[in-house]
Amino acid sequence: MNALTPLEAETSIALGAPVDVTIDAVAKDFGDSPALFGVSLDVRAGELVALLGPSGSGKTTLLRILAGLEAPSAGRVLFGGEDALGLPVQDRNIGFVFQHYALFRHMTVFDNIAFGLTVRPRASRPAKAEIRRRVLHLLNLVQLTGLEKRYPTQLSGGQRQRVALARALAIEPRLLLLDEPFGALDAQVRKDLRRWLREIHDRTGHTTFFVTHDQEEALELADRVVVMSKGRIEQVGSADDIYDRPASPFVFSFIGESTLLPVVIEGGAVTFGGDPTGLDVNKTERREAVLGFRPHDVTLVEDDAPAIRGRIVATRRHGGRRRLELQVGPDHLRAEIDVEVGDEQPLGTLVGFRPQRWRIFPA
Amino acid sequence: MATPLALGRRPGVIPGFGLTLGFTLAYLSLIVLIPLAGLVVRAASLGWADFMAIALDPRTLAALRLSFGVSAIAALVNAVFGLVVAWVLVRYDFPGKRIIDAVVDLPFALPTAVAGIALTALYAPNGWVGQYATMLGFKIAYTPIGIFIALVFIGIPFIVRTVEPVLADLDREIEEMAATLGARRWTAVRRVVLPTLVPALLTGFALAFARAVGEYGSVIFIAGNIPYVSEIAPLLIVIRLTEFNYAAATGVATIMLIISFILLFAINLIQAWSRRRLG
C-alpha cells in the first residue's frame, strides 16, 4: 500500500460550489419509533461538521435525510437557501461515502470513479477524454495514481475508502456526506486517513458532514461537533466548547471519561449522601442536582475535612497514573479517580477525595 | 525445497485433504464416471464408420438439434423470467409470498410424467389453453412449442433458486450509492445490480439447460414425437432401445454426452472468469 503523503501544492480540482445547509425542525419516525425529534442546525458553506453520538442517536438517519436516502416525517432542509427535500436523491448532487465503501466490485477503480459522470444524461455528460482527465486527476488527489485498472478486491481497506471518496468527489458535489468513513479501518490507517481527509477538505472546500461515534475523531477533525443522543441534538460547538463547557450530563459523560453523582445543593454547599463534599456553589435554595467530574481532576483528602468518601473496589493502571474504582455513598455508586502511582492503597480501604474542577447539572 | 508431493501433504489447518480427495474421486467414479465409461465403451464397439453413420443420420441430427436448441431457448427464457420471480420474492413483501415461494419448487417435486400429462391436457387442441391457440390457427401441443413449454416448466426453479440467495445478499448500499451518484433506477439495476448477478445467472442457466437436455418424462407426452419435427434425442435413444438396437442407442447417447460436456465446460469457464472479476 502506498503511504499517504502530504498533498502537493499544485493539486487543484474542479469542485461544485459549496453551499450552506439549513436543517429546520427535521423529524423522522420509523413506524411508531421516532428516530429524530425536530432537529435544527445551520451549517456555513465549506464547514466540516461532525455528527457525534452513540448508536441509535439518530446521526445516521439525519445524514441519510440530507442525502435523500430517507424522507423526513416533518421539517425542512435547505441547500443554499433552496428546498432540498423536493429533489430526489439523484438530483441532490451530494457526494456520499459509506462505512463499508459500497464500491462496485465488477468495475475497475477507474470505472468506479467515473460512474457518476457516465450515468449522466447524454446532454450533460462530459466527453470521454474529459472524464478520463478528471478521473486521473482525482486518483492523483487520493494518491492512488497507477491503480486505475485494479478491481476493488485487489485493494486494501484504506485504498478502497479513498476510491470511494474519489468517486463521491467526481460528481462535483455541493455537499459531502460521510457515514462512519473510517469505522471499518484499523487504528493506524484511520489516523492517517483522518489527517488526510482534513487536508482534502481544506483544499476542496466542500461543506462536509461526517457521522462518527468516535469522539477523538470528531474533536480532532471537525470545525464544529454536533453531539446527538436519542434523536435530539445535545450540543453544537467547537471541540473546546464540547469538552470544557458541556451543555448536559450526557455530553459530559459521552465526551471524555467522567463520573456523574446525584447531589443535593443546600445553603450554597454541595452534599452527597447527606455529607458535605467541601464543594461550594453560589446558589442557596435547596435543590437536587448532578455533580460531574473527570478522574484526573480530583485530589485526595487525607484528614477528616469534607470530601466524597468511598471504598476501593478495583484498581488498574491508566497511562502514567493509577485509576481507582470506588464505591461511594449509601447507594454504592461507582466513581473513578486517578492517583499517582504509589499513592494507592489496598482494596477495601476507605479513601476521601474532592474534585478540583467539576460541573453541576440540573437533576 | 519442498517437492510438489510434500506440498500436497503438508498438514494444513483443515485436515483430511488426502482422505476427502480420495473419497471424492472414488465416489464420482462409482456414481458418474464408470457408468459413463461403460456407455462410451459400448459405443466404441460400434466401429468408426457405423458410429458416424448413426451420428450423421438425418433423424439423429434433427433430434439433437431440437433437443439442444429448444433447451437453450427455454433456459434463456427462464433466465429472464426466473430473475424477475427471484427479484419479486427477495425484494417485496406481499400476502401469499410463502405460497408462491413454495410453488416455485413444484416442478422439482412433481413426477415429470404428471407434469407432461397436465401440460398436454392444457395445451392440446381441445384443452383449456390449446383451444384458443387452435382458434388463432396454430398448435402448441405436438409441436416444438409444446416441448419448449415443458422445458420452461421444469427449468424455472433452477434459475430462481440460484439467483435468489445472491440477490438477497446484495448490499442495498450499492444501489443507494448508485442513486447518490445520479443513476436513475433502471440505470442502477442495469449497470450495478445485474452485473453482480451474472455468475449466479450463468449457474442457473447451466443447470436449467442441462436438466432440459436430459428431460424425458414431461416432454414425450406433449411433443407428439413426430420424427424430424418433434422427436427429442432422449426419446430417439429409447426408440432404438425398444428396437433392441443397443449400438445405435449408445451412439446417440455418446454424442449427447460429448456435446453436453463441451457446453457445460464452456459455461463453467465463463463462470470462473466472471467470478474471478467479482472477487
Q: CA A133 to CA A153: how far, in whole Å?
A: 24
Mean pLDDT of chain B: 88
In this complex, which of B176, B182, B277 lies closest to A171 when CB atoms are compared?
B182
Residue B10 confidence (pLDDT): 58
B180/A106 touch (CB, cutoff 8 Å), yes or no: no
B180/A94 touch (CB, cutoff 8 Å), yes or no: yes
Residue A7 confidence (pLDDT): 52
Q: CA A111 to CA A117: how far, in whole Å?
A: 10
Chosen for mutation from A89, A99, A155, A176 (greatest number of chain B CBs closer than 10 Å) is A89
Chosen for mutation from A103, A104, A122, A171 (greatest number of chain B CBs closer than 10 Å) is A104
- State the CB neighbour count (10 A cutoff) for residue B204: 28
DSSP B114-170: HHHHHHHHHHSTTSTTHHHHHHHT---TTSHHHHHHHHHHHHHHHHHHHHHHHHHHS
B184/A106 touch (CB, cutoff 8 Å), yes or no: no
State the pLDDT confidence band at A363, using cuts at 50, 70 and 90. Answer: confident
Distance in Å, alpha carbon of B201 to nearest chain A alpha carbon: 15
Mean pLDDT of chain A: 88
Q: Does B173 touch chain A (CB under 8 A)?
A: yes
Residue B3 confidence (pLDDT): 44
In this complex, which of A100, A115, A154 lies closest to B181 when CB atoms are compared?
A115
Least confident of A40-54, A157-171, B2-16: B2-16
Residue count (chain B): 279
- Structure confidence by residue, pLDDT tens digits, B155-185: 999 999 999 999 999 888 999 999 999 999 9
B180/A69 touch (CB, cutoff 8 Å), yes or no: yes
Distance of CA A103 to the CA centre of its chain: 24
In this complex, which of A90, A98, A102 lies closest to B182 when CB atoms are compared?
A90
Give percent of chain A above pLDDT 90: 56
Chosen for mutation from A64, A65, A90 (greatest number of chain B CBs closer than 10 Å) is A90
- Structure confidence by residue, pLDDT tens digits, A299-346: 988 878 889 999 999 998 888 889 999 999 888 899 999 988 877 688
Q: Does B6 touch chain A (CB under 8 A)?
A: no
Residue A3 confidence (pLDDT): 52
The arithmetic mean of pLDDT across residues B140-148, rounded, is: 90
Residue A5 confidence (pLDDT): 58
Residues 6+ apart with CB under 8 A from B259: B64, B68
- Structure confidence by residue, pLDDT tens digits, B178-232: 999 999 999 999 999 999 898 899 999 999 999 999 999 899 999 888 888 889 9
B173/A91 touch (CB, cutoff 8 Å), yes or no: no
**Chain A residues in contact with chain B using a Cβ-Cβ cutoff of 8 Å:** 67-69, 89-96, 98, 100, 102, 104-106, 115-116, 119-120, 151-154, 167-168, 171
Residue A11 confidence (pLDDT): 43
Whether residue A134 has pLDDT greater than 70: yes
Contacts of B271 in chain A (CB under 8 A): none
B198, amino acid identity: V
Pick from B56, B34, B92: nearest CA to B248:
B56
The arithmetic mean of pLDDT across residues A232-255, rounded, is: 91
Strand duo A74-79 + A33-43: pairing: unpaired
- Structure confidence by residue, pLDDT tens digits, A8-24: 444 444 455 788 999 99
Distance of CA B89 to the CA centre of its chain: 22
Distance in Å, alpha carbon of B273 to nearest chain A alpha carbon: 12
Q: Does B25 touch chain A (CB under 8 A)?
A: no
Chosen for mutation from B180, B271, B276 (greatest number of chain A CBs closer than 10 Å) is B180
Buried/exposed code over A259-275 (b: 16+ C-beta within 10 A; e: otherwise): bbbebbbeeebbbbbee
Contacts of A151 in chain B (CB under 8 A): 277, 279
Residue bearing the bigger pLDDT, A131 or B44: A131
Whether residue B246 has pLDDT greater than 60: yes
A115/B174 touch (CB, cutoff 8 Å), yes or no: no
- CATH T-level fold of B39-277: MetI-like fold (1.10.3720)
